Amino acid sequence: MTSIRYPGAATSEGAQELSARGQMTAGELLRESGSVLRMSEAAAAEQADRAPGDQETMIINMGPQHPSTHGVLRLMLELEGETVLRSKPIIGYLHTGMEKTGEDLTFLQGPTNVTRMDYASPLFNELVFSLATEALLQVEIPPRATWIRMLMTELNRIASHFLFLATNGLDLGAISMILYGWRERDLVLQFFEKTTGLRMNHNYIRPGGVAADLPDGWRDDVLRILDALPARLQEYDELMTGQPIWRARTQGVGVLTAEEAIALGATGPILRASGVPWDLRRDIPYLAYEEVDFNVVVGTYGDVFDRYAIRLNEIRESIGLVRQILDRIPRGDYRVQNKKVTPPPRARIDESMEALIHHFKIFTEGFKVPEGEVYVAVESPRGELGCYLVSDGSAKPYRMHIRGPSFVNLQTLPHMLRGGLIADAVAVISSVDPIMGEVDR
Amino acid sequence: MSADDQAVPDEQAVPQEEERRHGAPLTRQLGQVVLHPSREGYRDLVEQLRRDGYTFCLDVTAADYLTHPGRSGLPSTVTPERFEVVAILLSFEGKERLRIRVQVPDGDPVVASLFQLHPGTEAMEREVYDMYGIVFDGHPDLTRILMPEDWEGHPLRKDYAVGRIPVQFKGAPGDR
């Protein structure tokens, strides 16, 4: 397989594609799986030289327009019949340089940029960026803002996991799941629309607090969602969890052991499915998670079924969390009252010259953030979502890097697909739940 | 910032003030532990830390300090260079993260790859290579990952312009 050479491509960095079987070297095999298996280079070289029988192998592309690749993921597969011998995910189709853009936006504009990365759970992106900015600013946000952030992100986790259940069901042939999953997700999105004005890409969580207080009647709205969901989850159990076809398609497929998951840097449900009880909300708490009770759902076998079951049960845990938040959410300010960080309320602008000046300065220049660097992470529905932020003392980040959990989790694919069938590949890709906006950023 | 400015206080101040772990200077940034190994000692440090329980490599990224060379947070014994490779490790037992900042000079942007220790750094190191042109010695497949393979330049470098697509409206003033 030769890659296309464009005229004038003087700086070609080598092909990103999977190389042909004849060119397969020990390094190629090590890249794919050997280092995780702790295989020696000699053993890898021996395996690389071995031809896969007399049959011909075939390299085909799956994606970037394949419906089961969740967006624009392209997967090169080397097949022998229906068995996947090697594979390589090729990404970058949705790369829009958001980290570069982030260096050109002020800290106040930053959330509008990062919220578009993981578009299935936008509030987590805003949260991690805001937490990193606040760590550099060393401001303490009011308790109500903290609890509103917890409420909104837990609801977002529910919405995101419903999206996973819908697409996972669709990928595996439980077609009606796409309707059910979307229906339930929409309940949450309607609440988001009422609170933030938008169904996605909210720009609601901002450095210093949240953009607006919860709307009138929010408690009834949330309770209506929470009351509706348990019965629906019961339906999912009947439709999928106990169903023999579902179990046959998912159990024992795409197994990843704990050692492999740790070596490959997988986080979130993939790591927990392998039996590692690691959840940042419990182990390195942020916001007010040390004050609430919840269980960390952990799997045993690390297969597709475990990853499905973990997400399903995390919805139940999140419902319990939201109920606790409803009971305990305090009154008070929803954003920090620091004139240099927070714009003044609209009414003050009419009567106070200073308020007008502050308002103008914040929205034209932004606020200056002290020099320093910080790494902050939260537990997004996909794993550890981190933000590495460097400030040079100006109003714009000097460097803004987001550690996208999907980007790292995608590396587990070649390892899990090896030796499986193409039909299983669809199940495995779906179980990783990659969001390409976050992978490519 | 020149190294001469710092040479004088170094000799007295270092033995008392500077905290070290496995020979690498240790600083704290907003309560977070940061290690500053030399380029040569970077891979060995990560290997020693892995034995200490930092078994999980969360992230490898970089920063280009071309327009902000006098950054704070570096210990006096470390000479600032243009690039900085940042690795973030995690310990499950200690429930803590640790950050490593390695100075990489502009003229010879090469550091050791962590691939053999933490295979999960494969995509992250490719991304750093793609965005900054920093070469990871020992990486099995150091090709571009996000940009097209025939792309020229490394976009996240500070001397790489943000760029704009010319707006083609009627009467648009000049080239924007």
Residue A75 belongs to what H/E stretch?
A: strand A74-80
What pLDDT, on a 0 to 100 scale, did the predictor assign at position A13? 67
Q: Is residue A414 within 8 Å of A18, Cβ to Cβ?
A: no
What pLDDT, on a 0 to 100 scale, did the predictor assign at position A18? 78
Residues A258 and A111: their CA atoms lie apart, in Å, by: 34
Q: Is any Cβ of chain A less than 8 angstroms from the Cβ of B123?
A: yes
CA distance A198 to chain B (A): 28
What pLDDT, on a 0 to 100 scale, did the predictor assign at position B59? 92
CA distance B45 to chain A (A): 17
Q: Supply the mean pLDDT for chain A.
A: 86
b/e per residue, A322-351, with b = 16+ CB within 10 A? beebeeebeeeebbbeebebbbbeeeebee
pLDDT tens per residue across span B26-35:
888 888 899 9
Q: Quick one: closest CA in A to B73, which residue? A: A372
Indicate the residue type of A351.
E
CA distance B7 to chain A (A): 23
Q: Is residue A158 within 8 Å of A315, Cβ to Cβ?
A: yes
DSSP β-ladder status, A74-80 and B24-29: unpaired
Q: Is residue A214 within 8 Å of A221, Cβ to Cβ?
A: no
What is the mean predicted confidence (pLDDT) over B102-123?
A: 90
Cβ contacts of B57 on chain A, cutoff 8 Å:
265
Q: Is any Cβ of chain A less than 8 angstroms from the Cβ of B125?
A: no
CA distance B148 to chain A (A): 8
Q: Is any Cβ of chain A less than 8 angstroms from the Cβ of B146?
A: yes
Structure tokens at B168: 């083609």
CB contact under 8 A, B144 and A375: no
Least confident of A348-352, B51-55, B170-174: B170-174
Residues A267 and A272: their CA atoms lie apart, in Å, by: 8
What pLDDT, on a 0 to 100 scale, did the predictor assign at position A368? 87
Q: Is residue A159 within 8 Å of A185, Cβ to Cβ?
A: yes
Q: With a cut of 80, say whether residue B173 has pLDDT above it.
A: no
Cβ contacts of B35 on chain A, cutoff 8 Å:
none
Burial of B80 (0-12, 13-18, 19+ CB in 10 A): middle
Residues A415 and A31: their CA atoms lie apart, in Å, by: 10
Q: With a cut of 60, say whether residue B16 has pLDDT above it.
A: no
Q: With a cut of 70, say whether residue B4 has pLDDT above it.
A: no
Residue A242 belongs to what H/E stretch?
A: none
Burial of A242 (0-12, 13-18, 19+ CB in 10 A): exposed
Burial of A176 (0-12, 13-18, 19+ CB in 10 A): exposed
CB contact under 8 A, B29 and A136: no
Peptide bond into B173 cis (omega under 30): no
CA distance B136 to chain A (A): 14
- Rounded to whole angstroms, what are the CA distances from B29 to A95, A328, B3, B73, B76? 31, 33, 22, 7, 15
DSSP β-ladder status, B110-112 and B135-137: parallel
pLDDT tens per residue across span A27-75:
777 777 666 667 777 777 777 666 665 567 888 888 787 777 777 888 8
**CB half-sphere exposure, A37, CA atoms < 13 A:** 15
Q: Is residue A280 within 8 Å of A431, Cβ to Cβ?
A: no
CB contact under 8 A, B56 and A372: no
What pLDDT, on a 0 to 100 scale, did the predictor assign at position B166? 59
Interface of A with B in 345-374 (CB under 8 A): 371-374
What pLDDT, on a 0 to 100 scale, did the predictor assign at position B12? 43
Identity of the residue in B64, B97, B147 whose CB atom sits nearest the CB atom of A92: B147
Cβ contacts of B140 on chain A, cutoff 8 Å:
27-28, 30-31
Cβ contacts of B132 on chain A, cutoff 8 Å:
none
Identity of the residue in A11, A35, A398 whose CB atom sits nearest the CB atom of B68: A398
Q: Is any Cβ of chain A less than 8 angstroms from the Cβ of B79?
A: no
Q: Which ipTM was obtained for this model?
A: 0.86
Identity of the residue in B124, B130, B141 whose CB atom sits nearest the CB atom of A27: B141
pLDDT tens per residue across span A368-415:
888 999 999 999 999 999 999 999 988 899 999 999 999 999 988 888
